[in-house]
Amino acid sequence: MENQKFIDQASDLANAASDLAEQAALLANEATKLPATLAGSGGNEFVLLLTVFVLACFVGYYVVWRVTPALHSPLMAVTNAVSSVIIVGALIAAGPAEVNFAKVMGFFAVVLASVNIFGGFIVTQRMLAMFKKKPK
């Protein structure tokens, strides 16, 4: 009976995560329309992008803290995959020939995402090793 309760909770969390992903997709869709609107009205695009970044930080924080402890290992694996996508975007940002702010930030993104990926894999391996049976 305890297993069924755990399965139901995991299913509810998966549904909640799916709903959050849909809301985030809608928010991202609307956020991509805003720079074009602000560019025509003389708004400051940096403030808009900073606002989107801060909101994404808050959403990420609350999503991670709502995960049950049993799902932290799979969450670590997913974050490692997301970091690999960040590296691709950072390489694109660091790609232009001239040295500018985007290239410097792209370089730092590559370095930090690499540390996150390798550190995440090390932590995941240690967590999985805790569950292996030790030979007698």
Residue 30: closest CA among 60, 53, 46, 52: 52
Give per-residue pLDDT as tens, 78-100.
666 777 777 777 777 777 677 77
Give per-residue pLDDT as tens, 20-75.
778 877 777 777 776 565 555 556 788 888 888 899 888 888 877 777 776 766 77
pTM (2 d.p.): 0.41
From residue 19, alpha-carbon distances to 5, 24, 35, 108 in Å are: 21, 9, 26, 32
Q: What share of the chain is helix, strand, coil (3-state, %, to 5)?
A: 85, 0, 15
